Structure 1
Amino acid sequence: MTSSPPGDPPLSASRRATLAGCAALALWAFLAPLARLAQPLPPLLITALGFAAGGLLGLAVVAARGRLGALRQGGLAWAHGVGGLAGFHALYFAALALAPPVEANLLNYLWPLLIVLLSAPLRGLPLGRQRLAGVALGAAGAALLLGGGASFPVSALAGFACALGAALTWALYSVTAARFAAVPTEAVAGFCLASAALAGLGHWALEPPAELTARHWLAVLLLGAGPMGAAFFLWDLGMKRGDPRLLGTLGYATPVASTLLLAAVGEGRLSGRVLLATALVAGGGLLAALAGRREVAKL
């Protein structure tokens, strides 16, 4: 088959969408450090406030573009959006609160591996040997970070279970996003606000009241502007119109970056194990990227 001509619109759109997904991955590297900055706020309260900030910012952009009509979606689309966003973050923040943050954060980042693997049966996308090799390298890096001296106290089992639940929730939400390709990305603003309301009700019913300081408000605003705001819109574009296999494999770089940032704010320490894991993760992402370029060249 011949190569697509330069400037081919569908190919260009796919590349831009994949780059948008990569930008979301970069923003999510800051999710754990900002969540720790918001401690000791209860998990559901952090979820509610972060989504409220992100949803309101997104709503302002949607309104400015005259696209408020995009918020009118069917019940299944709302269930997918709210269930994925609210479910993942409630579980993730609970994991960070109940377990050692570095270990819980890294265990949650099994979701890139799950995305790559679930893309085959759920979306009919081939993996290929080179992409599987990239997945294996990334998995080895994640395993090295979780093992080799990492501490797993018995009291943290509930937190680790939440981290695993968060990983599965986000992988399923991401892979099934293509089935809602007709739902415009602007609708994510509504999903964020609905998630904020749902988490707020959960906080009111299940968690003790908390007093917010200036540090907490700063953390919430930063969460809403980045990893709990803009990142969702970018990820929605990437998963619906980009390459989920490549994004899932490149997602292995996010736990490395997040771990480095956690160490920088005093929540962990750097070691030779972390540096070796970084090399494995980067190598896996490179293999997947090269596989994607070869597939595109055959189109």
Structure 2
Amino acid sequence: MHDLTVKRATYMGLGALIMWTVEPLLISEVNGLPIFEVLAIIFFSSFALTALRLTKRRAWHTVLKQPAFIWLAGLTGICLSDFAYIYGAQYAPIAHVDLIDYLWPCLVVAFTSMLPKERFTPQHIIGALLGLLGIYVLVHHEISLNGFNFNYFIGYLLALFGAVLWGGYSAFSRYFKKVPTEMIGMYCGLGALLCLGLHLKFETFVTPTWTQGSLAVVTGISGAGIAYQLWDYGVKYGDVYLLSTITYVARIAAMALLVMFGKEPLTWSLVIACSLASIGVFISGMDTKSFKQLCGRFSFMRSSQLSTQPEMPV
């Protein structure tokens, strides 16, 4: 593929990361609404944006001809992962849910490396383990501070489930490159119908305030609409390893926003966990040559330290 195309697609993926930096702050503002009601608004906003685009371009045939398994994979990977993320925020602090959910960059690297013409390297394993270590630091702090909290545990599991789904879908999208990015809006349209049905069946409608309603629509247009399509294009044609590496830079910025607006306290466990996960994604995104050079420098520094230590008297 032409280098210019790869760079352009990578920049588009970076645009998605910038939008997702603000998403945790927006989600924290609509937590008072029923979960399926919020998801119906978010998904419908994304669908409406895509529907306008397809109508203007007279391109509805490009999405309606897609096979059933494409629709099923997208509905599961996007809508169900969003549900797990937002619903998890009802049971655990948003910063914790956000960090666990963003194990998906490690999973994207791992899943993508299993595709044809891709390579699975040791740095991918090391990166994933560091990310998991960061989650352990986070969960261990909460358990030791407040005792074992079953509600937090549910939130952690939902966030991890969403990470696996989204990581798997990103690898799926890279494999099926010919599927148009407008399918994102179609998945969200189906998700909106399902969430509306679940809302009418299990929830009581709560009239959103003007702020809550507008923020839900903005989240749907930006995070579930534009950002998803930018990321989809970036994963298909850009440098997926570089995008995965930079993802946790966006997560650190998102955490800073939550702290700045008083949504979460700044704790050492959160900082350490985020740092470990960031290092993990950075290592997993390195190419083999750079990884070997890093290991060589570390081995040289270690041997130099040992050689400068004084000998023990006999």
Query: TM-score by structure 2 length?
Result: 0.80
Q: 1:209 aligns with which of 182, 190, 205?
A: 205
- 1:177 aligned onto 2:173: yes
Mapping 1:137-176, distance limit 5 Å:
141=134, 143-148=136-141, 153-176=149-172
The more displaced of 244-253 and 284-293 is 284-293
1:127-178 residue CA offsets vs partner (Å, 9 max, x unmatched): 4455655556555555545554576622322222211111111111111112
CA distance in 2 between counterparts of 1:165 and 1:80 reads 15
Mapping 1:41-120, distance limit 5 Å:
41-72=33-64, 73-120=66-113
Structure 2 residue identity aligned to 1:157: F
Percentage of matched positions with identical amino acids: 26
Structure 2 residue runs of 5 or longer lacking an equivalent are: 292-314
Q: Aligned pair in 2 of structure 1 residues 226, 90: CA closer, same or farther (>3 Å)?
A: same
Query: TM-score by structure 1 length?
Result: 0.83
Mapping 1:260-275, distance limit 5 Å:
260-275=256-271
The size of the alignment, in residue pairs, is 287
Q: Aligned pair in 2 of structure 1 residues 117, 87: CA closer, same or farther (>3 Å)?
A: same
The more displaced of 138-147 and 214-223 is 138-147
Indicate if the aligned counterparts of 1:20 and 1:238 stay in contact, CA closer than 8 A: yes
Structure 1 residue runs of 5 or longer lacking an equivalent are: 1-8
CA distance in 2 between counterparts of 1:103 and 1:275 reads 11
CA distance in 1 between counterparts of 2:195 and 2:138 reads 31
Report the CA distance between 1:266 and its aligned residue: 2.1
What secondary structure does 1:97 align onto? coil
Indicate if the aligned counterparts of 1:55 and 1:192 stay in contact, CA closer than 8 A: yes
Report the CA distance between 1:223 and its aligned residue: 0.2
The more displaced of 97-106 and 281-290 is 281-290
What secondary structure does 1:30 align onto? helix
Indicate if the aligned counterparts of 2:87 and 2:155 stay in contact, CA closer than 8 A: yes
Point out 4+ residue stretches in structure 1 off by more than 6 angstroms: 292-295
